[in-house]
């Protein structure tokens, strides 16, 4: 409550003012009465828990304990606030009590919050002076000794600590003696020193700059450094980042090596909300080996272009554009000094696709246009389609009723149509992006029309007849003739429209058989065997009339057939009569098992054998070797799908001669078995984790107890303690009170070949990978393989990651092989101080490539 003397003084002042007002005045005299200075007009509310004291003589308002005021866009909370209406000064401090200094002033202005030991604010000039300020400036945590606000755009600071650590004692900080801050823009400071765990380091800079802008900003990207045997010391990935707009950005990065090698990389990200997003990068390297004049001197260039574009599904439901591009030099991934994707090094194929799809609403037609690129990095061959256009028609039923189901074969008759056109280029690295790549380009068009229907036969069988028609258009053809003067076959390419047509018919009959075995006792309720046998027939006429003969030598009888469409991109017409029967059987095996949980009333379906498929064929028109090999493949899984197993094999019924060639005689009639195993393969995959074991352990806690006992015995730890009377007391102990999350993935591959009695294992390897969290902040991972056949390890990678709260550390290592390398990194997580890092790399010796 306000003091009594203050009130009396105020009353006397009011009485005096009234007396002066009652005196007669000269009408010419200007009214010079001074109006009393009132409270700060912009203060909306002011509250306090203990008291609000008003001193009318000194024109003060004092708020104590949980004091809070609002004026303009500023909110102040503190233990003690004094409002001086005489000089427009607001002073806020904390409260000293038995707990220390509490209720420090908290100032919120424009959404920006800061905490102070004490603060003074001038309402009229908007200047402020604060001590012990702590504020969050974006990702930065600022702790300032003295802060002086001159205006909205200038704040002077002294004895400042800048960090991104949110701990009371920060992991690291940058100490600044004096500086200037422009809110929401930057901090410019003088001498700055790095402290780690409050220990000063010799890292001292004469000046420092900290951006405070929100979102992305343009700026310099600091490089990483390292060295290798050929190029010497290097700086990599240094450059400039351009935040061009809210929709896209550009990063220009460069590499430089002491022997004169260099590299340039341009990267861009773009995104338009609800429309599309993507990334684009182009990299070029000019690499020099050794020093000019030495034997090992050499120069090579590599480039790589990558583009990924994705359209938002909301943009257009009936049209879509997408791109996935990865092209460049065939040796880029093996020779680049700045490519760390080890998976790409093992991949010998680069591929790209740019496509546009459109659906014509109200019609059954769809269109797609695709530009494709396929590049073999071993042979350096490149195949491109510029472009490939396809038009397809969904299946239509011309004889189906407008209403109601389709009841007969004619009503079930469906028609489909597909058209595709290609302009295809086949070139090499040498001529890529040069005019020569178009020299041998090929083009063509293909039409496919299919008729198919189905009907039930004898209630349980499905009969499905079909017919296919294909027409191919080319714009050139081959003409071969024998040149007697040079004794050689000359091939001419004649431009002009050419075409061929072919057709075939087919018939298939299929059914499904079920076999069930029920059990009355135990959790196993039933086992079901599902068999789906199918037999098919296909017929294709002989289209040999599209073939011609050419003389091969001076002997007129030495002739060879060829087709004028041999160089066509869609192949040539089928030669010879095809009249064949196909047989296949698909099997699955499932069981119904009741759950251990008594509340479950329905049995659970469990797959015992996911698939067991057998297929073969018989060519009626062939003059020999009419039976096709039997193809067998089977697959299943165990342990709640953690272990997958797949087996495949090919069984040939025909025998071999002494030279290993197949002859028209059954193997069993040649003194062998019914079939010859020509090739086989086994693949397995197993995934295991601490979580999966924990679930199993919850179901069977006795296993955990047994394992603990065994472990204790091996370490010499006894669970028995002798009592004073000579007896023993059994105590339960836990060796570990925590678990370390981990995952383990194993893969196994085995391939066997015996087509020509070679009886060899073509490949035999095991792959393994996993990770282990030693602590919540320590993680170790590995990835490797072992070639059992050749007895050697494949590409092995080890990675170590440590979360250091405001820092992160990683070490990636390929310990042996021709890709030996490592990369050690430790740096601040925050993007604002991302240049505060140590990045050391050792590159592989590219002379091996």
The 10s digit of each residue's pLDDT in 615-658 is: 999 999 888 899 999 999 999 988 878 889 999 999 999 999 88
pLDDT digits over 168-179, tens only?
Answer: 888 888 999 899
578-593 vs 643-652, strand pairing mode = unpaired
Res 313: pLDDT: 84
* pLDDT at residue 473 greater than cutoff 90: yes
pLDDT digits over 310-367, tens only?
Answer: 999 888 889 999 999 998 888 888 888 777 666 666 678 888 999 999 999 989 999 9
Asked if residue 146 is part of any domain, the answer here is yes
Asked if residue 494 is part of any domain, the answer here is yes
Res 110: pLDDT: 75
- Write out the H or E segment, with its range, that includes residue 191: none
pLDDT digits over 360-379, tens only?
Answer: 998 999 999 999 999 988 88
Q: What would the mean pLDDT of 190-198 be, rounded to a whole number? A: 88
Same domain, 142 and 1: no
- Write out the H or E segment, with its range, that includes residue 731: none
- Cβ neighbour number for residue 387 with a 10 Å cutoff: 18
Same domain, 658 and 573: no
Is residue 688 a contact partner of residue 743, using CB atoms and an 8 Å limit? yes
* pLDDT at residue 753 greater than cutoff 60: yes
* Helix, strand, coil shares, percent, the chain, to 5: 10, 60, 35
Residue 174 CB partners (closer than 8 Å, separation 6+): 161, 162, 163, 192, 193, 194, 195, 208
pLDDT digits over 41-99, tens only?
Answer: 556 678 889 888 988 888 889 999 999 998 888 899 999 999 988 888 999 999 988 87
Asked if residue 687 is part of any domain, the answer here is yes
Same domain, 492 and 629: no
- Label residue 409 by pLDDT band (50, 70, 90): confident
- Label residue 794 by pLDDT band (50, 70, 90): confident
Asked if residue 505 is part of any domain, the answer here is yes
pLDDT digits over 293-309, tens only?
Answer: 666 677 888 899 999 99
Q: What would the mean pLDDT of 113-139 be, rounded to a whole number? A: 88
Pick the more confident residue, 462 or 4: 462
69, 39, 44: which is closest to 56 by C-alpha? 39
Alpha carbons 89 and 82: distance in angstroms, whole number: 8
Pick the more confident residue, 817 or 119: 119
Same domain, 689 and 795: yes
Res 44: pLDDT: 62
Same domain, 743 and 829: yes
- Label residue 713 by pLDDT band (50, 70, 90): very low
- Label residue 492 by pLDDT band (50, 70, 90): confident
In this structure, of 109-123, 289-303, 382-396, 724-738, the range with the lowest mean pLDDT score is 724-738
Evaluate the omega torsion of the peptide bond into residue 387 and state whether it is cis, within 30 degrees of 0. yes
Res 683: pLDDT: 95
Res 6: pLDDT: 37
Asked if residue 376 is part of any domain, the answer here is no
Alpha carbons 282 and 433: distance in angstroms, whole number: 15
Res 152: pLDDT: 77
pLDDT digits over 719-733, tens only?
Answer: 444 444 444 444 444
Res 848: pLDDT: 44
Asked if residue 668 is part of any domain, the answer here is yes
pTM of the model: 0.67
Total tally of structural domains belonging to the chain: 4
Res 403: pLDDT: 80
Res 167: pLDDT: 83
Same domain, 654 and 766: yes
Same domain, 496 and 565: yes
Q: Examine the fold and report which residue of 123, 142, 172 is the final residue of a domain before the chain moves on.
A: 123
Same domain, 636 and 555: no
Res 698: pLDDT: 54
Res 352: pLDDT: 92
pLDDT digits over 493-543, tens only?
Answer: 888 899 999 999 999 999 999 998 888 887 888 999 999 999 999 999 999
Q: Examine the fold and report which residue of 590, 618, 646 is the final residue of a domain before the chain moves on.
A: 618
Is residue 454 a contact partner of residue 580, using CB atoms and an 8 Å limit? no
pLDDT digits over 11-52, tens only?
Answer: 344 333 433 433 444 444 444 444 444 445 556 678 889 888
Q: What would the mean pLDDT of 386-411 be, rounded to a whole number? A: 86
Same domain, 607 and 684: no
Asked if residue 345 is part of any domain, the answer here is no
The CATH code of the domain that includes 96 is: 2.60.450
Q: What would the mean pLDDT of 694-700 be, rounded to a whole number? A: 54
Q: What would the mean pLDDT of 273-280 be, rounded to a whole number? A: 92
Q: What would the mean pLDDT of 434-443 be, rounded to a whole number? A: 85
Widest distance between CA atoms in the chain? 147
Query: How far is CA 828 from each of CA 188, 202, 218, 810, rounded to the nearest angstrom?
Result: 20, 18, 19, 12
Alpha carbons 82 and 280: distance in angstroms, whole number: 59
Q: Examine the fold and report which residue of 123, 141, 176 is the final residue of a domain before the chain moves on.
A: 123
φ, ψ of residue 158 to 5 degrees: the values are -145, 145
Pick the more confident residue, 781 or 408: 781
Same domain, 99 and 208: no
Res 8: pLDDT: 40
Res 41: pLDDT: 54
Same domain, 513 and 633: no
Res 740: pLDDT: 80
Same domain, 110 and 131: no
Asked if residue 236 is part of any domain, the answer here is no
In this structure, of 683-692, 800-809, 836-845, the range with the lowest mean pLDDT score is 836-845
Domain that holds residue 797: 619-696+738-848
């Amino acid at each position: 409550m306000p003091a009594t003397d203050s009130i009396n003084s105020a009353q006397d002042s009011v009485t005096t003012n009234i007396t002066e007002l009652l005196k007669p005045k000269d009408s010419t005299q200007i009214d010079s009465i001074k109006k009393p200075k009132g409270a700060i007009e912009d203060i909306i509310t002011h509250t306090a828990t203990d008291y609000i004291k008003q001193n009318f003589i000194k024109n003060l308002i004092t708020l104590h304990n949980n004091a809070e005021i609002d004026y303009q866009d500023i909110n102040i909370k503190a233990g003690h606030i004094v409002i001086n209406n005489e000089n427009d000064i607001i002073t806020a401090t904390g409260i000293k009590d038995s707990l220390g200094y509490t209720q420090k002033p908290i100032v919120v202005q424009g959404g920006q919050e800061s905490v102070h030991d004490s603060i003074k604010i001038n309402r009229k000039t908007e200047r402020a002076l604060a001590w012990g300020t702590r504020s969050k400036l974006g990702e930065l945590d600022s702790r300032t000794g003295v802060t002086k606000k001159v205006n909205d755009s200038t704040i002077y600071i002294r004895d400042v600590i800048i960090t991104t650590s949110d701990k009371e004692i920060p992991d690291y900080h940058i100490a600044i003696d004096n500086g200037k801050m422009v809110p929401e823009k930057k901090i410019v400071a003088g001498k700055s020193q790095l402290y780690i765990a409050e220990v000063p380091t010799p890292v001292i800079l004469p000046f420092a700059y900290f951006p405070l802008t929100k979102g992305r900003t343009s700026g310099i990207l600091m490089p990483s450094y390292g060295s290798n045997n050929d190029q010497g010391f290097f700086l990599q990935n240094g450059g400039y980042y351009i935040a061009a707009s809210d929709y896209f950005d550009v990063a220009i990065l460069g590499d430089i090596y002491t022997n004169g090698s260099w590299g340039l990389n341009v990267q861009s990200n773009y995104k338009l909300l609800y429309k599309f997003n993507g990334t684009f990068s182009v990299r070029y390297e000019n690499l020099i080996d050794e020093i000019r004049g030495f034997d090992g001197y050499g120069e090579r260039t590599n480039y790589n272009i990558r583009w990924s574009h994705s359209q938002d599904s909301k943009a257009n439901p009936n049209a879509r554009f997408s791109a996935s591009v990865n092209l460049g030099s065939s040796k880029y991934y093996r020779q680049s000094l700045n490519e760390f994707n080890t998976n790409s090094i093992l991949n010998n194929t680069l591929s790209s696709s740019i496509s546009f799809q459109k659906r014509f609403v109200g019609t059954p037609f769809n269109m797609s246009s695709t530009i494709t690129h396929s590049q073999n990095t071993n042979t350096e061959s490149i195949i491109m389609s510029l472009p490939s256009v396809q038009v397809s028609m969904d299946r239509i039923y011309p004889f189906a009723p407008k209403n109601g189901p389709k009841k007969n074969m004619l009503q079930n008759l469906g028609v489909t149509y597909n058209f595709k056109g290609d302009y295809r280029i086949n070139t090499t690295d040498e001529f890529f992006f040069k005019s020569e790549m178009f020299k041998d380009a090929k083009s063509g068009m293909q039409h496919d029309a299919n008729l198919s229907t189905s009907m039930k036969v004898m209630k349980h069988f499905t009969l499905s007849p079909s017919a296919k028609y294909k027409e191919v258009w080319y714009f050139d053809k081959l003409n071969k003739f024998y040149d007697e003067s040079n004794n050689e076959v000359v091939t001419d390419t004649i431009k002009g429209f050419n075409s061929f047509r072919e057709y075939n018919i087919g018939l298939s009959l299929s059914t499904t058989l079920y076999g069930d075995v029920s059990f009355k006792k135990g959790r196993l309720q039933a086992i079901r065997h599902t068999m789906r046998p199918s037999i098919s027939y296909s017929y294709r006429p002989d289209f040999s009339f599209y073939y011609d003969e050419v003389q091969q030598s001076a002997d007129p009888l030495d002739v060879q057939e060829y087709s004028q469409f041999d160089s066509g991109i869609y192949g040539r017409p089928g030669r010879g009569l095809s009249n064949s029967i196909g047989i296949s059987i698909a099997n699955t095996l499932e069981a119904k098992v009741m759950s251990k949980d008594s509340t479950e009333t329905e049995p659970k379906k469990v797959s015992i054998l996911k698939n067991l498929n057998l297929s073969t064929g018989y060519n009626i028109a062939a003059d020999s070797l009419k039976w096709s090999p039997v193809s067998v493949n089977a697959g299943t899984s165990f342990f709640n799908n953690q272990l997958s197993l797949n087996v495949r094999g090919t069984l040939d019924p025909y025998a071999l001669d002494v030279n290993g060639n197949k002859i028209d005689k059954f193997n069993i009639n040649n003194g062998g078995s019914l079939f010859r195993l020509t090739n086989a393969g086994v693949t397995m995959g197993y995934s295991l984790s601490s979580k999966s074991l924990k679930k199993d352990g919850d179901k069977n806690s006795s296993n955990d107890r047994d394992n603990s006992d065994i472990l204790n015995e091996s370490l010499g730890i006894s669970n028995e303690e002798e009592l004073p009377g000579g007896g023993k007391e059994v105590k339960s102990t836990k060796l570990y009170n925590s678990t370390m999350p981990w995952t383990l993935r194993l893969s196994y591959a085995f391939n066997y070949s015996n087509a020509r009695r070679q009886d060899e294992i073509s490949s035999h390897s095991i792959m393994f990978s996993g990770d282990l969290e030693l602590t919540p902040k320590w993680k170790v991972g590995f990835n490797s393989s072992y070639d059992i056949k050749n007895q050697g390890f494949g590409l092995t990678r080890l990675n170590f990651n440590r979360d250091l709260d405001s820092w992160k550390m990683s070490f990636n290592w390929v310990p042996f092989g021709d890709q030996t390398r490592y990369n050690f990194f430790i740096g601040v997580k925050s993007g604002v101080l991302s240049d505060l890092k140590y990045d050391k790399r050792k590159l592989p010796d590219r002379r091996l490539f």
